[in-house]
Amino acid sequence: MDFVDMLLNRIDGESELKKPTHALVCFTRLETGKRLNRMVSDIILSKAEKSLITLLYFVDDIEDSPEGEPVEVFQHKILTELNPKSEKNKITIRFFIREYASYTSEIRKIAEEQGCNLVLIGLGEDEVNIKEADKCLRLMNDAISAETATPTQLNEKEDEMLKQVSSLLENNKLPTGIFHDNGLCAINHIFIPVLCKDDIHIFTFIYQAAQKENVQITVWDAVGIIQSGPKMQKLYQFIVKKSDGRVQLWDDNKKIEKEFIQSQDLLISGIDGWNKLIAAPLSWKESLPSILIIKDSSN
């Protein structure tokens, strides 16, 4: 069974999507963590039963407690804010605080201890300027070692973050996502470019996002991947049928303008497609919204 058939079987009947998911959400900016948690809850875990989110908040010094409060008080406040008690709430949230000095090792350790099957790393806009293509290409290219993955013009702060993230992408065997927060407030308009066949695993995320009410998803079949064969067409049409009109293809007769990109809340891409996207001479790259880039476990 090829991967397209596997995706169809995964989506058909939703049995696979209803299996418990345990996402590890890592961040150093609290607001970014809150936004990523909301996105995971609304989209990735929206159909899952008894799922868990483990929030991993990195600080410079754990003795210097966030917001001047005892760590236990701060943790309880954040958990109460993010996970209010409700009979409808199917998601359990855990919250840990760790020191940034052990960033990579703590992510791997907690992912194993908590039995996570998805790792998401949140980056604030002030941590890495993801719109600078040469930096992003090196960040997302898992074929390059962490030691050589950052260009010399980066400042010390960006350089350290890129090395940590590059190491995780290269060595982590779990599905791993990089979320770059550009002030995500709502998830009503999602843009999904499809630029290579290796990234068709993101069709699972297209389907999951399309289950959310009041969302409009635009899929840009940039190089004809969806039209490349009957199985791909069947997969896409199945998602369209199940989305109640919330998924549509971009009309290739129209040029993508900066104004359209600015109207989007979130861009979702696979890692290989992202590398192609940022290497392409596209005038609207400087207007990208918040971004979720997924590396599948099979990559």
The Cα–Cα gap between 167 and 181 comes to 20
The Cα–Cα gap between 7 and 1 comes to 10
pLDDT tens for the chain, 299 residues long, are 466 766 666 666 555 556 678 899 999 999 999 999 988 887 776 555 677 899 999 988 877 666 677 778 888 888 888 765 544 556 788 899 999 888 999 999 999 999 998 999 999 888 776 655 445 555 555 444 444 444 445 567 667 777 787 777 777 788 899 999 998 999 999 999 999 888 888 888 888 888 888 899 999 999 999 888 888 888 889 889 888 889 999 998 899 999 999 999 999 999 889 888 888 888 898 899 999 999 887 54
pLDDT for 87 equals 43
Nearest CA-CA partner of 226 in 217, 218, 216, 236: 236
The encoded tokens of residue 281 equal: 């001479």
CATH fold label, 14-181: Rossmann fold (3.40.50)
Delimit the domains of the chain by residue range.
14-181, 189-290
pLDDT for 248 equals 94
pTM for this entry: 0.86
pLDDT for 228 equals 83
DSSP 165-196: HHHHHHH--S-EEEEEES-----SEEEEEE--
pLDDT for 28 equals 92
